[in-house]
Chains A and B, each alone.
Chain A
Amino acid sequence: MIQLNVNGVEHSLDIEPEMPLLWALREEISLRGTKFGCGLGLCGACTVHIDGTPVRSCSYPASAAVGKQISTIESIGSEETPHAIQRAWIKHQVPQCGYCQSGMQMAAVALLNDNPNPTDEDIDAVMTNLCRCGTYDRIRAAIKTAAKEMV
């Protein structure tokens, strides 16, 4: 059994230790906000936080997350209490198809937690997730808006 703490809830899963965390989250715990894009750690659609650090869950074995705090997009904010990043994402109308955006937001939340006032260079360095719809202009603007709001 693999014991995972996801968004503050303990789950006991009968899965292989090497099963990537992504598939444990999506199909064993039915948390489907975290997306599959490539399976090789290349796109970031599957980004979650482990003890606050952004991680590409498609390439992260479930067993490695045992004893750690896993947070997914579902824990970041809600309709009633959206995170500052989510408010900025709506204000700037960032998503197009939206598929990459939970991973994008997880990367952006981690960035702002780490660096509340990022420069363009900081954003470039950390926001390595891919968006096929090309929402980059608005992602950049939304991160800056959220940063201002969070100060």
Chain B
Amino acid sequence: MGITRRIFMIGGATVGGGLLLGIGGVGAHLMTHNRINTQRDGHTDNNSTLVNLWLRITPDNNIIVINPHTDMGQGTATGLMQIVADEIDADWSQMKSQAAPADVAYSNGKVFEGFMREMVTPPEWAGNLVENGFYRMGDLMKMQMTGGSSAVRFTGWDAMRKAAAATRQMLLAAAAEKLDVDIASLKTQSGTVVHENSGQSYTYGELAADAANRDLPKDAAFKAADQWRFVGNSIDREDVPAKVLATAEYGIDAEVPDMQYAAIATSGVFGAQISSIDNADEIKTARGVSDVLIVPDGVAVVADNPWRAEQAVRKVVFQRESHANDTLHTEDVVQNQRDALAGELSEGLSTGEAVEGAADIKAEYLVPYLAHATMEPMNATVWMQDGKLNVIAGVQNPLGARQRAAKEAGMKIDDVIFHSRQMGGGFGRRVAFSTTGDEPLSWLVQAVRIALHSNKAVKTTWSRETDTRSDVYRPLVLGQYEGALADDGKPLLWRSRSYGKEMNIKAIAPPYAIPNIKVSYADQPHPIPTGFWRSVEHSQHGFFVESFIDELAMAANADPLQYRLSLLAKDSAAASVLNKVAEMSGWRYGADADGRAMGVALVHSFGSTVAQVVEASMTSNGVSAHRVWCAVDCGTAVNPQAVEAQVQGAVHYALSAALYGKCDLKDGGIVQSNFHDYRLVGLAESPAVEVAIVKSDSPIGGVGEIGVPPLAPALSNALAVTDGVRRRSLPLV
């Protein structure tokens, strides 16, 4: 069926030509789930060799890593190159990367699996709870996802490392045959196979075509960690120079001949569609304006300059259908959740013997809807050419976006050409998948409609206001917590109820040893579109869980950091990062003479463990976060400086949310619109963030999101020390 054929075609056409030989068990298993282990095919096209799905070796001995992930600043390409360079035994100067096409062959089952697993699997220690993370596997082939902090740990560590190790074996075998020597007498170094006895050698480029014809080794061993030359080293990211020189191309920078520009005004009420436009004729008289039309969730104006389009769309007078959301306010959503929590709930986790007696410590927490606010607003450029629909956009899932565009245009996916671009921020906004049925690609849908309607090349760009008001939001969540202490001050029981669809139990369960835990949730939907927001449920539930454990510690009159340690196994990753962060920060419990105090939080997410200490105080301007220390256990840190950058960035991302972030609902729409009322932390108020990566033998974990969840609780916990006031809702300012 199509798999072999498709890879064949990619080798020939899309990836840039090449001899495609010997795909199969290596790498390819990720997309076919072991159904195809021995596929092989031959196709000579030019003189470079695609040894397997992930690697191409050129005659001049460049090793090209084909990266199925898209860039939003996380440094994936470099991390993958490091892994391959070590395992195949090449020099850094040989390494290149190339973006994979938006094609099924590069859909990433494992990545998606990792994503789903993170969302729905119970913690390991909860034992026999059913793992239901795979029930959407049918969707798998549509996913070429960058998300779930999965690129380096799954694509890289699981797949590419295997592919590179096997490729090295195949190169050795090819050389052994050519030289007619025992393979054991050969070694690899710097992209060559060397026969030391005779001094003969071949470059990988010379061997690639032969190597690709060989059987796949079953037992290609990985290098030991002490042989790594690249993994574990801070290497400059290959995407950085173009961003510094401003030559990197983002979706919004697209240029197509005779391109027009569209601006969008939203209907103003989630779900409500526009029924008619009152002043279309008048709008069309404005300079440069060529079209005014109704699109899903709004109206569009097409003009010959984006500013003219934006000016005109703001003047469109339209009629809107009435909708159940017309009178929706934040208070209604909160009340609705409170009612739901009083009703029948889904059980998330229940451990230990039920404890008699009252839970006398109670807390209700609330976090708001949040927009992603990527610095580059949503945009797509769409046009028809030679019977094909062309799309330029930056997305976290090019294949999903390609499919969505095809569906909207009523075309076959093969008739859509997707030109993937650098993203000016992703954070979960630019995925093409939702668990809720909400449409994260509504901007792409609009762009396709507009281009087809106008029969022109059109770049559709959302204004900041439209972007803020048309997001798929981080869900507003209400959480109710109850606990009781044993005589020794340790928690005796822990109960929580919270609101959320298809909850990730890992995110809502406490990581601490507590005799009786009962975690339940109201598995109900939201009235407005929701989606994945950097760190997904961990951002809300990390705040709840780590605030409540702090409340218990305070009730027990205990140092909150020591209290946590007393509830963790001594040799656990959690204990190790807590000890580390205590050491880095010079942990102290209690406010100093300047009224500054420290707070701590600990969150496992995406296979990694992070503890943070925030030093904060209340000042005349409100809350001030002075310094942040992060101790990270992500197993193997492939590129430590990139890990540091991701964690620092995540802290500032989370700090904006903790201090200022909220999207209020009024009359069915979002009140906030731009950075004056949806504030981001600026440089002056950004705390210095120190990151330490602890040595560990934990499995490799994700990195991009793990710095987010501990920040808000650590900050709020610090403030509670300064003034004894427990802040149970965000934002703090």
- Give A143's nearest chain B residue, CB to CB: B683
Q: A82 in the interface, Cβ–Cβ < 8 Å?
A: yes
Q: Contact between A35 and B424 (Cβ–Cβ < 8 Å)? A: yes
Q: Contact between B307 and A42 (Cβ–Cβ < 8 Å)? A: no
CA separation between A19 and B310, bound complex, in Å?
11
Residues of chain A within 8 A of B306, CB atoms compared: 23, 26-27, 36
Interface 0/1 of B641-668, CB less than 8 Å to A: 1100110111111010000000000000
CA separation between A138 and B240, bound complex, in Å?
13
Q: Contact between A130 and B237 (Cβ–Cβ < 8 Å)? A: no
Q: B554 in the interface, Cβ–Cβ < 8 Å?
A: no
Q: B93 in the interface, Cβ–Cβ < 8 Å?
A: no
Q: Contact between A140 and B375 (Cβ–Cβ < 8 Å)? A: no
Q: Contact between B674 and A40 (Cβ–Cβ < 8 Å)? A: yes
Q: Contact between A101 and B680 (Cβ–Cβ < 8 Å)? A: no
Q: Contact between B464 and A127 (Cβ–Cβ < 8 Å)? A: no
Q: Contact between B375 and A99 (Cβ–Cβ < 8 Å)? A: yes
Interface 0/1 of B244-256, CB less than 8 Å to A: 1111111011010
Residues of chain B within 8 A of A26, CB atoms compared: 306
Q: B5 in the interface, Cβ–Cβ < 8 Å?
A: no
Q: Contact between B375 and A130 (Cβ–Cβ < 8 Å)? A: yes
Interface residue tally for chain A (C-beta within 8 Å): 58
Interface 0/1 of B458-490, CB less than 8 Å to A: 000101100000000000000000000000000
Q: B267 in the interface, Cβ–Cβ < 8 Å?
A: no
Contact of B675 among A35, A43, A78, A135 (CB under 8 A): A43
Q: Could you tell me which residues of chain A, from 89 to 134, have a CB within 8 Å of some CB in chain B?
A: 89-90, 93-102, 105, 123-125, 127-134
Q: Contact between A35 and B252 (Cβ–Cβ < 8 Å)? A: yes
Residues of chain B within 8 A of A16, CB atoms compared: 287
Q: A33 in the interface, Cβ–Cβ < 8 Å?
A: yes
CA separation between A132 and B249, bound complex, in Å?
18
Q: A54 in the interface, Cβ–Cβ < 8 Å?
A: no
- Give A138's nearest chain B residue, CB to CB: B645
Contact of A130 among B74, B287, B463, B680 (CB under 8 A): B680
A36 and B241 contact, Cβ closer than 8 Å, known pairs A93-B236, A98-B73: no
Residues of chain A within 8 A of B308, CB atoms compared: 19
Q: Contact between A99 and B683 (Cβ–Cβ < 8 Å)? A: no
Q: Contact between B688 and A137 (Cβ–Cβ < 8 Å)? A: yes
Q: Contact between B423 and A97 (Cβ–Cβ < 8 Å)? A: yes
Q: Contact between B245 and A93 (Cβ–Cβ < 8 Å)? A: no
Q: Contact between B689 and A137 (Cβ–Cβ < 8 Å)? A: yes
Residues of chain A within 8 A of B683, CB atoms compared: 123-124, 127-129, 131, 136, 139-140
CA separation between A124 and B310, bound complex, in Å?
33
CA separation between A33 and B423, bound complex, in Å?
14
Q: A74 in the interface, Cβ–Cβ < 8 Å?
A: yes
- Give B641's nearest chain A residue, CB to CB: A93
CA separation between A39 and B673, bound complex, in Å?
12
Report the minimal beta-carbon distance from A40 to chain B, rounded to whole angstroms. 5
Residues of chain B within 8 A of A10, CB atoms compared: none
Report the minimal beta-carbon distance from A16 to chain B, rounded to whole angstroms. 7
Q: A17 in the interface, Cβ–Cβ < 8 Å?
A: no
Q: Contact between B305 and A98 (Cβ–Cβ < 8 Å)? A: no
Q: B72 in the interface, Cβ–Cβ < 8 Å?
A: yes
Residues of chain A within 8 A of B242, CB atoms compared: 98
Q: Contact between B675 and A130 (Cβ–Cβ < 8 Å)? A: yes
Residues of chain A within 8 A of B427, CB atoms compared: 132
Q: B724 in the interface, Cβ–Cβ < 8 Å?
A: no
Residues of chain A within 8 A of B374, CB atoms compared: 97, 99, 132
Contact of A40 among B248, B676, B681 (CB under 8 A): B676
CA separation between A78 and B236, bound complex, in Å?
19
Q: A86 in the interface, Cβ–Cβ < 8 Å?
A: yes
A102 and B246 contact, Cβ closer than 8 Å, known pairs A35-B252, A36-B377, A135-B645: yes
Q: Contact between B73 and A95 (Cβ–Cβ < 8 Å)? A: yes
A101 and B675 contact, Cβ closer than 8 Å, known pairs A133-B425, A134-B651: no
Q: A67 in the interface, Cβ–Cβ < 8 Å?
A: no
Q: Contact between A101 and B676 (Cβ–Cβ < 8 Å)? A: no
Report the minimal beta-carbon distance from A79 to chain B, rounded to whole angstroms. 6
A27 and B252 contact, Cβ closer than 8 Å, known pairs A99-B425, A134-B648: no
Q: Contact between B248 and A98 (Cβ–Cβ < 8 Å)? A: yes
A33 and B236 contact, Cβ closer than 8 Å, known pairs A19-B305, A139-B683: no
CA separation between A123 and B683, bound complex, in Å?
9
CA separation between A101 and B240, bound complex, in Å?
10
Q: Could you tell me which residues of chain A, from 14 to 38, have a CB within 8 Å of some CB in chain B?
A: 15-16, 19-20, 23, 26-28, 30, 32-38
CA separation between A90 and B241, bound complex, in Å?
6
Residues of chain A within 8 A of B250, CB atoms compared: 35, 99
Contact of A39 among B463, B642, B680 (CB under 8 A): B463
Q: Could you tell me which residues of chain B, from 286 to 335, have a CB within 8 Å of some CB in chain A?
A: 287, 305-308, 310
Q: Could you tell me which residues of chain B, from 249 to 273, have a CB within 8 Å of some CB in chain A?
A: 249-250, 252-253, 255, 261
A101 and B305 contact, Cβ closer than 8 Å, known pairs A16-B287, A136-B686: no
What are 21 residue pairs bridging A and B, where the CB atoms are less than 8 Å apart in the complex?
A27-B306, A35-B250, A35-B376, A35-B424, A36-B306, A37-B464, A38-B675, A42-B674, A42-B676, A93-B641, A93-B642, A96-B73, A96-B649, A97-B422, A124-B684, A127-B684, A128-B683, A134-B651, A134-B681, A134-B686, A136-B648
Residues on A lying within 8 angstroms of B by beta carbon are: 15-16, 19-20, 23, 26-28, 30, 32-40, 42-43, 45, 73-74, 77-79, 82, 86, 89-90, 93-102, 105, 123-125, 127-140
7 closest A-B pairs (Cβ-Cβ)?
A134-B652, A98-B243, A96-B73, A99-B424, A33-B246, A97-B73, A134-B649
Instruction: Add 17 more A-B contacts to A32-B252, A33-B246, A136-B648 (CB < 8 A).
Output: A23-B307, A32-B249, A32-B255, A35-B376, A39-B310, A93-B240, A97-B73, A97-B243, A98-B240, A98-B244, A98-B248, A98-B424, A133-B425, A133-B649, A134-B686, A135-B649, A136-B682
